[in-house]
Chain A
Amino acid sequence: MKGEKMRRRDFVKTAAVIAGFPTILVARQPKTFRLALIGCGGRGRGAVRDAFEAAKILGVEVKLVACGDWFRERALRAGKEYGVAPKRCFGGPTAYREVLETEAEIVLIATAPAFHPVFVEAAIKAGKHLFVEKPVAVDPVGCRRVIAAGKEAEQKGLVAIAGTEMRHDFNFRLTHQAVAVEGALGRLYGGRIAFCIGHMFATKPINPKTPDDLVRTWQNWVCLSGDHIVEQHIHNIDVANWFVGRPPVSAVGFGFRARRPAGDQYDFFSVDFDYGDGIHIHSMCRQIDGCWNWVGHDFVYEKGRTNGSDYPKPKNSPIPPDLPRAPSSNVQEQVDLLYHVLKGKPVNELQALAESTATAIMGRISAYTGRMVTWDEIMVDPNKNPALYNLQLKPTPEDFERGTVEIPQENVVPVPGIPAK
C-alpha cells in the first residue's frame, strides 16, 4: 500500500479549495486524526482497530482521544488499550455528550441501535465526522430523526459513513455499478435476500431487573435492538434497496418466535417487499439452530442473475482510482471514512442507512401485526396511520437517559392479527 500513500501537499491543495469543509482540515493539515468511540463493545472496539489499520493503509495516523460507554468500566478497558486517560473515559447514559465535548474530529458510534439516532444527531450537532454501525434506529421516529441529521451533516460538509459493509466492498460496488447503474444484465424482475443462521445471544432467560441488565443484554430486546430483522438482516435489505435503487413501497411480513429462550424477539421473519413496478423481493431471516442457513442475495435480471458481488465488471468504475482497497469490508469502511475526510469530500450515507433501517422496520411491523405496512404510513404521511408513523419503542432512549425505564416482559412477543371469534 506504500504507493497509494497520499502526499501531504496534494491533500492540502484539495482540502483548501473546498468551501464549507470542516475547518479543522483547512486551518491545519492533520497528520493525526483524533478519534473517539461511543459504545465500547466488540463491534466498537473492532471499528477502532479497523480505523488504525485503515490509517496505515492511507499513510496517516489516528489517535483515540476518548471513549464512552453505558458502563464506564468498558470505556476504561477500551481506553487502556489505546492509551486514553481514565478522565477521558466516560460512563453512564450521558457519556456520549462528554465524548462529543472532546476535541475528537471523528466519532465512531457502535452502541445498541436504539441509541443511534440520539448519538448521531448529537455528533452532527457537535460538527464531528462519524462512522455509525447499522442499524441506525429501531422505529420510524428514529429513522426520520437520522435522515434529518444527515441533511444537517450535508450542510456542515461532514463525512458520515455507515456500517453497511457491503456498500463498501469493492466487488459489491463494482457489481452494483455494472448491473444496477449500467444495466449489464438488463432489467430487474425479482429477487431473494436472506440472513438465516443459527441461534444468537442468550440461551436462558435473562430476568432483567435494571436498565443495566437490559443494556448489557441489548441484543435480546426489541426496544434496544429492533429485532434481528433490523439488527442483522438489514445488511441484505440494504443491498436490495441499493440494487433496486429505492426503498420498497410496502411490506407483507410473516414471522414468529419458535424457540428463542430469552428476551422478547422473534426468531424468524419471511417478508415480501414490494418495490413497485412489479418488483418484489422475498426477504428471509432466521436465528434458530439446526435449520437451513443462507446469508446472501439473488437478484433476477433479464439476462441473468447476480448475488450482488459476482459481476465486478462495470464499464466505468465508481471507485476513485486513489482509494485503497482494504483486506476486509470492515476496514474498507474506515478507509472510506478517512479517505473522504482527507480528501475533503463530504459524504452522507445516513439517508440510505436510515431508509434501509426503515425498510427492515416496515417488515418487522408487518410481521408483528399481520398487516401490510406501507412506506407512506411509516415515513411520509403523518396522517395515514399515526400509530405507525409515531411508533416509538418503549422504553425509549430518553427513558434510559432519564432513568424512567420499565423493564419489558421476557418471552412475551407480539401476536399478529386478532383472536378468532
Chain B
Amino acid sequence: MVKDGKLTRRGFVKAATVAALSVPTILVNSQPKTFRVALIGCGGRGRGAVRDIHEAAKLLGVEIRMVAFGDWFRERALAAAKEYGVPPERCFGGPTAYREVLDTDADIVMIAAAHAFHPIFVEAAVKAGKHIFIEKPIAIDPPGCRRALAAAEESERKGLTVVVGTQLRHHWDCILTHQAVAVEGALGRLYAGRVGHCGGHEGSVKPVNPQTADDLIRTWKDWNCLCGERALLGDLIHQIDFACWFVGRPPISAVAFGFRARRPAGDQYDFFSIDYDFGDGVHIHAMCRHINGCWNWVGHDFVYEKGRTNGSDFPKPQNSPIPPDVPRAKSPYVQEQVHLLYSLLKGKPLNQLRNLVLSCAAAVMGRLSAYTGQMVTWDEIMVDPNKNPALYNWQMRPTPEDFERGTVEMPQEGVVPIPGVPAR
C-alpha cells in the first residue's frame, strides 16, 4: 500500500508538464494515497456519488479528501461540505460555481447537476485537466451532444479517466454477459430486442408555477429545458446505452411515438415508444413510461440466434475482461467509483465519455422523433449540418447559457410538443 502519496501542487505541475498528454499525471511521480475530489451538483445523486467514492476508496485501500463543493444553491454546497469538513470558502454557489470548483486543486471532479448543464461542466472539467465522474445523461440536445463529443475527444487526447453513471456498464454480471454474448458470440448473431424503463409517476404531483430561475432549478426534473425528458433521458438512457453496448454501435435512425397522458406538472411527456434501427436489419424497441397504475418493466431482452439474454444472465465468457485485482463492490454505484480509482491507481485511463455521448444522442434522436412525428436519423443530428439544420441546431430554451447570463424565460407549464401538423 502506498504511504504518503499526496501530490503537492508543485509536484503536480511538474508531472503535468513532463507526462504531457499520455498517462494521468498524478500517478507518474508518486503513488497517491489520497485523491482530492470535488463535487459539482450537491443533490441526492451527487452526495451519493461522494459517499460511493469513499466506500470505493476503502475497498482499494486509498483515501479520499473532499476539497470543494459547488451547487446552484450555495446553501446546498455548504450542507454537503459540512459532513466532510470542507471550509465554507471552498463551497461555491450560483451559476458559475463550477468554474470556482474547477480552479481548485481537485484531482477528480464529480458532476451530477441538472442534465442541461452537463456539456458545459464536462467541457470545462476536461479543459482543466480533471479526471471526471459524470452522471448520465451527458446532454439533452444535438448541440449539447456534439459539444460533449468534442470534450470526449479532448479528454481522450489528454489521457484522462472519465467514468460515467451508466451503472450497468459497471455491473459485473453485465460486463461478463456482454463479453460472452456481444464480444465472444456465445449466442450467435443478434437479431432483435426490446428494452424498457416503465415505472410509476415521478416528479411533482401538482403544478409548479415557477417564477424564477431558482424555481426551475429547484424542480429541474420537471422541466424539459433542464432535464430533457426524465422518462427518456433520465431513465431509459440506461437501457438505450445498454442496447448500444450490446449491438456495438449507436442506431442509425429512430421512429418514435410519445405524449403526455397525465403528468400534472412541468412540460414533459410521460411515455415514449421508440423503434431504433441499428442497421443490418437489427431493430430494438425501446419503451419508457412514468404513469402510475400501468404495466411496469425495467429491463432488456436481446434476441440472439441461439437464445435470449437480459444482459446479465450469461456471465460465462471464455475470457473475463475484468482485471483480476479489481475489487468487486456490493453495488454498481460503488463499482463505478472503484473502476475510476482503480484506473487512476494503475495509470490506465478508462474513458467512457464517448460511449455516453453516443447513447445520449440516440436518446435525443428518439425524443426528437416523438416530438416531430418524423423519422430522425443519426446523420441529421450528429453528422451533417446541412441535412436538417432545424434538428442539427435544435436546442431547448432557456439554454444553460441563459441560466448563466440570467436571461431565463419561464417555460409554459403543461405545454408539450405536438407531433405532425393539424388536420386540414
Contact = CB atoms under 8 A, between A and B. Distances in A.
Interface of A: 189-192, 199, 203, 252, 254-256, 258-261, 268-270, 272, 278, 280, 282, 284, 286, 288-292, 294, 298, 300, 302, 305, 366, 369-372, 415-421
Nearest to B203: A420
A20 to B, nearest CB: 46
Given A252-B287, A280-B192, A370 B295 contact: yes
Contacts of A278: 303, 308
Contacts of B388: none
Given A189-B303, A292-B373, A284 B289 contact: no
A118 B375 CA distance: 41
Nearest to B192: A190
Interface stretch (B175-183, B321-329, B415-423): B415-423
Contacts of A252: 287, 295, 297
B292 interface: yes
Interface of B: 191-194, 201, 205, 255, 257-259, 261-264, 271-273, 275, 281, 283, 285, 287, 289, 291-295, 297, 301, 303, 305, 308, 369, 372-375, 418-424
A350 to B, nearest CB: 31
Contact of B262 (A189, A369, A420): A420
Given A254-B289, A370-B289, A292 B295 contact: no
Contact of A420 (B287, B292, B369, B420): B292
Given A288-B420, A289-B422, A372-B295, A190 B191 contact: yes
Contact of B275 (A282, A369, A415): A282
A282 B274 CA distance: 10
A370 B201 contact: no
Contact of A282 (B283, B293, B305, B424): B283
Given A189-B303, A254-B271, A258-B418, A370 B283 contact: no
A337 to B, nearest CB: 36
A256 B305 CA distance: 35
B284 to A, nearest CB: 9
Given A286-B257, A290-B421, A371-B294, 17 more contacts: A189-B305, A191-B192, A203-B423, A256-B259, A258-B418, A270-B275, A290-B419, A292-B369, A298-B283, A300-B192, A302-B305, A305-B281, A372-B295, A415-B261, A420-B263, A420-B264, A421-B292
Contacts of B423: 199, 203, 259-261, 288-289
A192 B418 CA distance: 24
Residue among A270, A305, A418 having the largest count of chain B Cβ atoms under 10 Å: A270
Contacts of A191: 192
Contact of B292 (A288, A294, A417): A417
Residue among B285, B372, B374 having the largest count of chain A Cβ atoms under 10 Å: B285
A253 B65 CA distance: 50
A121 to B, nearest CB: 34
Nearest first, the 5 A-B pairs at minimum CB distance are A291-B373, A190-B192, A370-B294, A290-B421, A418-B293
